[in-house]
Amino acid sequence: MTDHLSILRTQPTAFGRNRHATKTISIANNGTWLKSKQSKTGILFRHKSVPVNNIHGLYEVLQRESRDPTAFVIRGKLKDGVDGAKPVYRRSGEQHGDTAHFEEVPRQWMMIDFDEVPVGDVDLFDVPESAVEEIIDIHLPSMFHDVSCVWQLSSGAGTTDIEGVLSLHIWFWLDRPMVNDELKVFHANHAPSVDRTLFQTVQQHFIAAPVFKPPAIDPLPRRIGIMQREFDVLTLPHVDISAKALRESSGTHTGLTGSVRGLEAKLGLMGDGEGLSGFNGVIPAAVSSYVCKRFPQEIDAEAIKDRVRDAIKVAPCRSSRSQSYLNLVASDGYLDPCIRTATVKFALKNVTPLFPAPTISSSEARAGLSGHIVSAVSHEISRLAA
């Protein structure tokens, strides 16, 4: 069956400056890697629909289009009646009286986004497939394990990513076209650590390789590849997309951890097995629960790390989880960024006082106030008596 990729390309600014749909990597004077923030891609885009028939055709298109720093993919289809020869808006709903330019259609392909997940001792230079294999084996159910896929390393891979973590995209070809709600519910139930925000009509699927600003050059020979396995097609079970199932799958990648509140309740979902949510899906959620509604100065980073490490030690593990993985998720290098990110997002913000701090004690203040009250009352009595 033939499906299509909706490829959008950014348009230059009014001043002729290119808008990139990827990050720019440079080198600081001290030799460290620097990564730019994701630039705004604008509101108008050039559109192209490219036919694809299988995982190999998908790889050919992605490999070619990844060389264009302005290109990205969405799941939606350009609506009938929209002139694709002109720039289009990336929206699926009406706005300001203008009709939507894209609509949802079932797709036979899907992309999974893994952001800063722990990996063991892998060789991204010579054997990046080993990292892909490890992440699939740990974070996705067994039905994915023998299926061919296209992989793309993130801009930070080999540059700004901290040692022991990796971000990447993995593409699969499905046995049948599936709508966004089916994919949301499936991953909520079977792969809760997967970010489900991608399963939307016009959500951006970034595919472009990073732009290296001279004198920086890419330290990795490959950022995209195809991993050939026993089967070229991924078969997912029937998915219930009733209203109840959709409510339970709401959110991005909260999974079971979103159904319980509090540090201890979330840590209770750590590990492998029925009713558990793994490690990378639990630890950030548990840390966020701990720092929520606390001021930064009240957050005891060492205490939370000790508690998480204790939970890791007793959590049930599948046989494929290596000790190096467990050591990594228990390390300062993994936990400290989790705590910093959670603090920025969820901790209470310190507010600058509007008035100077008091210079006297509370007892001195009460005594002074009492004196002023007595003086005022005495003055009023004397005035009335006169």
CA–CA separation, 111 and 173 (whole Å): 9
Which pLDDT belongs to residue 303? 92
Are the CB atoms for 235 and 182 separated by under 8 Å?
no
pLDDT of residue 245: 67
Provide the pLDDT for residue 275.
77
pLDDT digits (tens, 9 = 90+) for 104-125: 999 999 999 998 888 877 889 9
At residue 384, the pLDDT reads 83
Q: What percent of the chain has a predicted confidence (pLDDT) above 70?
A: 95
pLDDT tens column, 124-176: 999 999 999 989 988 898 999 999 999 999 999 999 987 788 899 999 999 99
pLDDT for position 144: 96
pLDDT band at residue 276 under the 50/70/90 scheme: confident
- Of the two residues 248 and 180, the one the predictor is more confident about is 180
Quote the pLDDT of residue 244. Answer: 65
pLDDT tens digits, residue range 185-212? 998 888 877 888 999 999 999 999 999 9
Place 256 in a pLDDT band, splitting at 50, 70 and 90. low
The number of residues in the chain equals 386
Chain segment 318-343, per-residue pLDDT in tens: 887 888 888 888 988 888 888 988 88
CA distance 365 to 269: 51
Q: Where are the domains of the chain?
A: 3-227, 254-346
Give the SS3 label for residue 35. strand
Q: Where are the alpha helices (DSSP H) in the chain?
A: 55-65, 128-139, 180-190, 243-248, 263-267, 283-291, 301-314, 323-329, 332-346, 362-385
CA 297/CA 113 separation, integer angstroms: 33
Task: Give one word for 36, left, alpha or beta, with left for phi > 0 and alpha for psi -120 to 50.
Answer: beta
Q: What is the pLDDT of residue 195?
A: 85
Beta bridge partners of 73: 7, 205
Phi-psi region of 96 (alpha: psi -120 to 50; beta: other; left: phi over 0): left
